[in-house]
Amino acid sequence: SLSDKLDKAFHVLKGHGQITEVNVAETLKEVRRALVDADVNFKIAKNFTNTVKEKAIGQNVLKSLKPNQLMVKIVKDELTDLMGGDAEGVDLSGSPSVILMSGLQGSGKTTFSGKLANFLKTKKTRKPLLVACDVYRPAAIDQLHVVGEQINVEVFSNKEEKDPVKIAQGAIAHAKQNGHNVVILDTAGRLAIDEQMMNEISDIHKTIQPNETLFVVDAMTGQDAVNTAKAFNDVLDFDGVILTKLDGDTRGGAAISIKSVVNKPIKFIGTGEKMDAVDVFYPSRMADRILGMGDVVSLVERAQEQYDEEEARKLQKKIAKNKFGFDDFLSQIQQVKKMGSMKDLMGMIPGAGKMMKNMDIDDDAFKHIEAIIHSMTPKERANPNIINSSRKRRIGKGSGTSVQEVNQLLKQFSQMSKMMKMMQGGGGKKMMQMMQN
């Protein structure tokens, strides 16, 4: 994956201890290769490494106290810039505000329409209406109804009407009458770009004049994503990009290239099929993720969304006092389970993505962990340090696992406690140092 390759690139630096002019060039060559392998356009990758090189020279990397760290920082900052500045939301100023989805069939328009409605609904002042403008496939209309039911959002459709523009107009009138302040138009797509699709979406766009036109694209389509983005942008001059299917190990190349080619911000990312598998796109976090540092900030935020605040305060105290034990870990696991799939979450923990990659992770992975913790005495849970070999054997037997697995969990637990302590200390810097070692 891209992260691995960039890791390797930085390894060149680490191996030398100090960077020299020669291995700066070597490293950048590796970085460039990694980007190209991840479907980043060659020209973009080349420009990128040139900029990094100039910055490295400008900031006198070779003479700095920690050249490797500075180099990583420059690469990260540049990646962030390349993917767009700060996170941007969607325009909700209209009454109602109309949001138009565009993109190929299967890109994730219907799914994202639901996710966006769900996301907006949690802001108490928003009452979204989902609109089925796919007039070709009755199943597509049904699909949107299923989505609407899941998230408890009204769906407007009209199977008799064959003109998507008329459906959209009817929906907007309906929204005005019924107090919906956001109208999300889910449209039909084709498997590949064709004239009829482009004419149709362009018609809707011209007549309805939405507040926000979004282009939805499957991140797994790599270089194709860039071409599709360009074709749609030529016709619609859209406002933003939604990058879907960025779950697990999907290559980040699309995110890097799209922004450079169409010069439109990526606004949200889809990270799974479920309605809550959506995140605001933050270029710097994406850069972190691409660099294999893990999307810690997202992880923490997502955790915070789900945690009871009182619970969180208690936990913080415990972590601060080094009193975080396995009972807390167990309740964390319960929380994590609520949050999303194991794969999603592992990908966000620094280092863990790599560690787990070769293992077949599914949500069953929790079962062993839970079994092991359940086989510990309350004393052991509160103070894992007392778990010696004979205790490990007993726990292994009791949980139907092995001493090795018990050891592994203990090790992971201690690493995790350390990491949590660092995050507590607001230690972005500390985190960076840890990554360096």
The pair of structure tokens assigned to 207 is: 């007549």
Report the SS3 class of residue 87.
Answer: coil
Shortest reach from residue 109's CB to Mg ion, in Å? 5
Position among 49, 68, 97, 110 found at the interface with Mg ion (CB under 5 A) = 110
Angstrom distance (rounded) from CA 194 to CA 192 = 6
Among 5, 109, 180, 285, binds ligand GDP (CB under 6 A): 109
94 annotated as a binding-site residue: no
Q: How far apart (Å, rounded) are the C-alpha atoms in residues 8 and 27?
A: 9
Are 48 and 82 a contacting pair, CB within 8 Å?
yes
Minimum distance from CB of 188 to Mg ion (Å)? 7
185 assigned ligand-binding residue: no
Q: Which residue has the tokens 């290239």?
A: 257
Residues 203-262 close enough to bind ligand GDP by CB under 6 A: 244-245, 247
Segment interacting with ligand GDP, rule: CB under 6 A, options 48-56, 160-168, 267-275, 296-304: 267-275
Kindly state whether residue 102 participates in binding Mg ion, applying the rule CB under 5 A: no
Q: Determine the Cα–Cα distance for residues 291 and 5; give it in Å rounded to an integer.
A: 9
Q: Which residues pair with 131 in a beta bridge?
A: 156, 185
Region of 28-36, 272-280, 316-324, 360-368 interacting with ligand GDP (CB under 6 A) = 272-280
347 binds ligand GDP, rule: CB under 6 A: no
Contacts of 2 (CB under 8 A, 6+ apart): 34, 35, 37, 38, 251, 252, 253, 290
- Residue 247 beta carbon to ligand GDP: minimum distance, rounded to whole angstroms: 5
The residue from 273, 305, 311, 362 that contacts ligand GDP (CB under 6 A) is 273
Check whether 27 is labelled as a binding-site residue.
no
For residue 108, the partner it binds in ligand GDP, Mg ion, none, with Cβ less than 5 to 8 A by kind, is: ligand GDP
Using the rule CB under 6 A, is 111 a contact of ligand GDP?
Answer: yes
96 binds, among Mg ion, ligand GDP, none (CB under 5 to 8 A by kind): none
97 is in an annotated binding site: no
Q: Is 341 in the site for Mg ion (CB under 5 A)?
A: no
Q: How many CB atoms lie within 10 A of CB 112?
A: 25
Strand order across the beta sheet in which 240-244 lies: 155-156, 128-132, 182-186, 97-102, 212-218, 240-244, 266-270, 278-280
Helix or strand (DSSP H, E) at 101: strand 97-102
The span from the CA of 179 to the CA of 225, in Å, is 37
Q: Measured between alpha carbons, how far is 22 from 12 in angstroms, rounded to an integer?
A: 11
Pairing outcome for strands 212-218 and 240-244: parallel
Site string for ligand GDP, 69-108 (x = CB under 6 A): ----------------------------------x-xxxx
The site for ligand GDP, by CB under 6 A, has a size of: 17
Say which entry of ligand GDP, Mg ion, none residue 128 contacts (CB below 5 to 8 A, set by partner kind). Answer: none
CB of 261 to ligand GDP, least distance (A): 21
Q: Which two tokens stand for residue 437?
A: 């070692």
**How far apart (Å, rounded) are the C-alpha atoms in residues 425 and 229?**
41
Residue numbers 164-193 binding Mg ion by CB under 5 A: none
**CA nearest neighbour of 69 among 351, 291, 255:** 291
Q: Is 84 annotated as a binding residue?
A: no
For residue 186, say whether it is annotated as part of any ligand binding site. yes
Q: Which residue is nearest to Mg ion (CB)?
A: 110
391 in the Ramachandran plot: left (φ > 0), alpha (ψ -120 to 50) or beta?
Answer: alpha
Residue 347 in marked binding region? no
Q: What share of the chain is helix, strand, coil (3-state, %, to 5)?
A: 60, 10, 30
The residue (of 245 and 259) whose beta carbon lies closer to ligand GDP is: 245
Q: Site residues for ligand GDP, window 11-30 (CB under 6 A)?
A: none
Binding site residue list: 103-110, 186-190, 244-247
Residues at the interface with ligand GDP (CB under 6 A):
103, 105-111, 189, 244-245, 247, 270-273, 277
